Structure 1
Amino acid sequence: MNDLQNRSAPISKPKIGIVTVSDRASRGEYEDLGGPAIFDYLQTVLVTPFEPRVVVIPDEQSLIEAELCRLADEELCSLIITTGGTGPAARDITPEATEAICQKMMPGFGELMRKVSLDKVPTAILSRQTAGIRNGSLIINLPGKPKAIAECLDAVFPAVPYCIDLLGGPYWETNPDHLIAFRPKQK
């Protein structure tokens, strides 16, 4: 049975990977604020219950690639959201790791996130957020600051449930008090 056939089996709760990429947070020198910000955001936006798979890893491309593959291929997370490692510094390599393991890139996610962030701060042009698809998993790279995480997710999340639908994943409902997921009208 291949991965896509495994994904069509009933799943009690969709799994979502939450990956913080930070040398200091992975060593316990810095409190991880990004991962909890993503979790809190998802708790607010999603009505559908989900199972988080939370990981904190250092800025090492091989480790990031391995973790993204594990979450997509073994844990069968339909969504994986990373935080950190999207800037121009030498150790900021999350987008490279994502591109290395994805079959398709989704550049519109990064473009929209940067557009929204540029309305707030001129240094947003330095951020290299991106998104891609590995098998049936949508992977989204976010910046590391909690405020930027919420702004970026507010921009792109209306398209996420439909993207998950198109990948054969579980049906997600959002909290209409926060945002409404876009799905084409049925004919």
Structure 2
Amino acid sequence: MSRLDESKPFLPVNIALLTVSDSRSAADDRSGDSLEKMIGEDGHRVVRRQIVRDEVPAIQAYLKDCIADPAIDVVISTGGTGLTGRDVTPEAFEGVLEKRIEGFGELFRWLSFQKIGTSTMQSRALGGVAGGTYLFALPGSPGACKDGWQDILRWQLDSRYRPCNLVELMPRLKEHLVAAG
């Protein structure tokens, strides 16, 4: 059974946030605000935050910049994961991912199904790894961000979570890069 092992130390992770939107600004980015608040309340650090338009090159530029920054452990985006013509976040992520975390999107949709029913099939939430950095794309609604953080990411980004968590894998995420170099 999953649980927090209080005998283990809590290790805060550095997180970059990305809001993908053609219409949001810093003044009305409710999803980004919500994520930043929850991340801080859970003891992690938001070290970078930006809003970019629904354009593959802009999203990829932000992701690549974060991946290249050794101070960033995780990037979480919100928005652009739907089905409309302007929703291109998954396509942008696919262009930089080295490995997909299939279970993230599957789990997100399973949990979401319990709240919004079959409408969850419209979500293309996804997770993966690139350059030793975890990348997660959440839908743009504050509710979806809350579900993604509180039901999945807060636990997997907590070094005390058992039986296993993503934090304990961080030192090994760049093994292939060292071996190739």
TM value normalised by structure 2? 0.78
Give distance in 2, aligned partners of 1:22 and 1:95.
14
Trace 1:27-38 onto structure 2 (pairs within 5 A): 31-38=28-35
- Quote the offset at 1:83 in angstroms: 0.1
Name stretches of at least 5 consecutive residues in structure 2 with no aligned partner.
Answer: 1-11, 159-164, 173-181
1:92-107 equivalent positions in 2, closer than 5 A = 92-107=87-102
Task: Name the residue aligned to 1:153.
Answer: 149
1:168 maps to 2:165:
no
Amino acid at match of 1:104: K
Partner SS state of residue 132, structure 1: strand
Provide the C-alpha distance between the structure 2 equivalents of 1:51 and 1:91, rounded to a whole number of angstroms.
Answer: 27
Aligned-partner Cα distance in 2 for 1:102–1:151: 23
* Cα displacement string for residues 50-100 of structure 1 (whole angstroms, at most 9, x for unaligned residues): 242000000000110110010111354101100000000111111111111
1:15 aligned partner: 14
% same residue? 30
Match in the other structure for 1:66: 61
Report the AA paired with residue 106 of structure 1. Answer: I
Residues 37-116 of structure 1 correspond to what in structure 2 (within 5 A)? Answer: 37-46=34-43, 49-74=44-69, 76-116=71-111
CA contact (8 A) 2:39 2:46 kept: no
Where does residue 7 of structure 1 map in the other structure? none
Q: What is residue 131 of structure 1 aligned with on the other side?
A: 127
How many residues are paired up?
153
Q: For 2:77 and 2:128, locate their aligned partners in 1 and report how far apart those are by CA, in whole Å.
A: 12
How far the C-alpha of 1:114 sits from its partner, in A, is 0.6
Q: CA RMSD in A?
A: 1.9
Query: 1-side partners of 2:101 and 2:16: how far apart?
Result: 18
CA distance in 1 between counterparts of 2:70 and 2:84 reads: 30
Query: CA deviation digits over 1:102-145, x for unaligned, max 9?
Result: 11110100100111111111311100000010111101111111
Equivalent-residue separation in structure 1 for 2:157 and 2:106 (angstroms)? 15
How does the TM-score come out when normalised to structure 1? 0.76
User: Contact 1:112–1:155 at 8 Å: present in 2 too?
Assistant: no
Q: Show CA shifts across 1:133-170 (max 9, x none).
A: 0111101111111112111222222123431321228x
Tell me how far apart the structure 2 counterparts of residues 53 and 75 of structure 1 sit (CA, whole Å): 13
Runs (4 or more) in structure 1 with deviation over 3 Å come to: none
1:78–1:164: 8 Å Cα contact kept in structure 2?
no
| SS in structure 1 at match of 2:157 | helix
Q: CA contact under 8 A between 2:16 and 2:47: conserved in structure 1?
A: yes
User: How far, CA to CA, are the matches of 1:134 and 1:165 in structure 2?
Assistant: 16
**Helix, strand or coil: the match of 1:120?**
helix
What one-letter code is carried by the residue in structure 2 that aligns with 1:149? C
